[in-house]
Structure 1
């Protein structure tokens, strides 16, 4: 059965390039769904905004993300501040998240 009301959130995996590694890291997120009008507005308003502000509007949570604390990896919850740290550490992460999000919304798993 097809529901005309999409789920308000959905899981998303962004593949982020990591310097010195051949394989991209998988960043597992839960993101907010945007319909066509809302998506067009979000994209149009992106110009001139910091990536952290733009992406924070869609990201609800993440999993399996760690930061080094005293030399050991420690899991961290999603927050705007932690997103800003991630985007600073991996400059290509913004585009990887954006591309994965747009692909998921616009292609809607056409491969299935």
Structure 2
């Protein structure tokens, strides 16, 4: 019984940590950069960039075509930029893309 209880507590802690990712809150999209001979893009917000995974560089939020959700993130970022809408960016706590903070979610704010 003690083993089962300990296992359940550990499972709850692991699931909770996996779901708790860092986000920017509503920020403007002031620039979108595309990769130099690479299929990636960067969202710049004109504000200090959060860097929860301690990536070597934090000059924007990155997504590459190798990242899950890349096409959706890119389409949403372009839409928000063209319409002047703010976004909330969800950034990986554990992984970097091209040594920079990795986009794992993007919400267009009204």
TM-score, with structure 2 as normaliser: 0.28
Q: Considering only CA atoms, is the larger Rg found in Structure 1 or Structure 2?
A: 2
More strand, by proportion = 2
More helix, by proportion = 1
TM-score, with structure 1 as normaliser: 0.28
